Structure 1
Amino acid sequence: MRGIPGSGVFIFFGLVFMIELVAFFAIRQLLSHPKVKRKLSYGYWLMSAVLFGILASGFLNPEKIREASNYQFFYFVISVSFFNLIPKLLLSVAFVLSLLFRLFKARYYARVMLMSTLILSFGVMLSIGYGIVFGRKSLRVIEQEVHLEDLPKSLDKTVVVQLSDIHLGSFENDDFLKRTTNTINQFSPDLILFTGDMVNNYAKEMNGFEDEFAEMNAAYGKFAILGNHDYGDYTNWKNELDKNSNHLALMQKIEAAGFRLLLNESAEVVKNNKLIEIIGVENWGHPPFPQYADLDLAMKDTTSESFKILLTHDPAHWGKKVVREIPVSLTLSGHTHAAQSGVQLAGIEFSLMYFVQQYWGGLYQQDHQFLYVNRGLGCVGLLGRIEMAPELTVLTLRSK
């Protein structure tokens, strides 16, 4: 949760103003009555000034956000900005394209383009509004079979539930987590695996949710790793001692909830006389963020005879360090949230996160190695889920 660097503030707000200005011209282009245009102008710029002020109050004082333990103001600023700017950005692009039609004296087509985009923009506003109010509370259960070359037949149909990116700082109460826990237990999983980002910043965000985590049941155990937000790197601390105390408290709370926390280490599970090794690494950070992962250390005590599952928060780690290098056939990750927004049409799912992360959501395969990227349960930044609902993953491991 970092603020905008000082060098980028003017560029950022300059772009925001340009979007507001061009969208204004786009709307005016569709009006013909002078009085309507005048009233629209007053209303548009009054509303824009209010929204611009809200945005400025949040991002011109990033330290206020970085030192906050209550995220409601930050979420409000981001949500209002999405709701306001995304539809106007669409209108701005349409207006620029319409100028090309006008250049060739095709005014009718220019007007059709603007009117169509205006209707689309209203639809986008409704979708964003729905995602903020309802989408983040609509649990999506994804049941996925994974056929693995090295899975012993005695481990066939092993059920693994994956949770990721809960971000408890985005929860107002425990209702949603209770529903998630009840759903998990209905599947009677063999393993529950959590792939990081329990909180936004602070261990105290777990307060009031301990019972729900403790009531998650798995026949052969619950295991967890840490995500980038779990280290407290995104907030200001008075001193290093406070940061370390917060980190220690969070780890203690995770283990008190019945999860074994894996910190660059492995754990053994025996099912039907076959050995499963759960390997968990700390967060594999992208520069300039700290690098806590040590995959060699985590693999040190593993055996060649076991079936292995690797937990690593960032899916980019799989492509960089795991594929064709480490003998692990199944890796579980999270981190991306699938941008908490996307498009689902005719069975095809797409998120803009694709342009940031190659592995952004779902199941991936290279040769005999698989990666599953959970789209996350909670929210960070935008307090909403736009066509990308909170995910609970139920993986059934199948032997070939």
Structure 2
Amino acid sequence: MTEAPRSATPIDAIADAWVDTLAERVPTLATYIGRSEHNARYGDYSPAGADALAVEARKTLAALRAEEPVDDIDRVTKADLTRELELDLELHDAQWHLRDLNVIASPPQDIRAVFDLMPTDTADEWSVIATRLGAVPEAVRGYVETLRAGVSAGVVPAQRQVREVVTQIGRYTSDRGFFAEFAAEAAPSDGQLPASLARELSDAAGAARVAYEELADVLAGEVAPVAPEQDGVGRDLYALHSRRFLGATIDLDETYEWGIEELARMVAEQEEIADEILTGASVEEAVAFLEKDAARKLHGTEALQRWMQQTSDHAVAELGETHFDIPEPIRTLECMIAPTKEGGIYYTGPTDDFSRPGRMWWSVPEGVE
């Protein structure tokens, strides 16, 4: 017997409408999940944009609370979306958006990194990129407005984050940085860029560089002087962020103690392995010893990318046989050399339909071969 298809419910409609709202108001998120209708623009990074999204979240939460689930799927949808909306509103009320700055995942990276996920096969796709690239200055201006509101309210990020993002922006905007190279190397796989589009990309990239340089000036000249030296965000904000990261409420004190124990365990394991590599060596000495071994070196980013892909494919295959039941769509992990020179390694998830797979990015610092 075949089970009858499930009919959409009012709770389904509310959840779908919320995804539409997010896609409309946060186009970088839309790109991330594979919705391309907003690929040519950005959302509003100003305080007004954050307030407008909070208004929509409150409306959605009220509508969701008013509906009764009709089945288990509805119960899960209602519980999960309710928690997510409540957390969004708690973070907004805590004015987190006024101090949202770090070197990994905040608006300065969000605005730039979305280009890594956009399709680049055709001239038409590069035209969409050029339009969004031309919208970078307005997006950055909105974010600057938010930072200034934070300064006025005394809600600012830590000084170390400010300093590091200024340095990061310097790499984005240099003559060999992301924006210059991104425009210069633009090329569809199905032919050549029209000259007019190449000029548009170049002009838009130049304007984006100027906008980011102005952001760096604001960070260095207005935010840094009032930013606290202490990195910690405080217990209340940490509790909110741990809920977002984990999807659960945890005992912060117990987890902190566990973290300290784990750190001690890992340090001890590092020291033990260092001694195996070179008797009596410290971790630093063992690393220096391995650095001298030519057999352990890769030369160039092409070799690095191949090694990443082979290692990843092998790990997925082995783990799929021995530890996990890994569905076929998520077995593909694309290993990429990032278009930035940060020195970090990060992951971007697949689109909802897996047309773009999950990707592991290695950002190789300039001069490292």
State the TM-score, normalized to the length of structure 1: 0.26
Higher relative contact order (CA 8 A, sep 6+): 1
Q: By percentage of residues, which structure has more strand?
A: 1
Q: Identify, as 1 or 2, the structure richer in helix.
A: 2
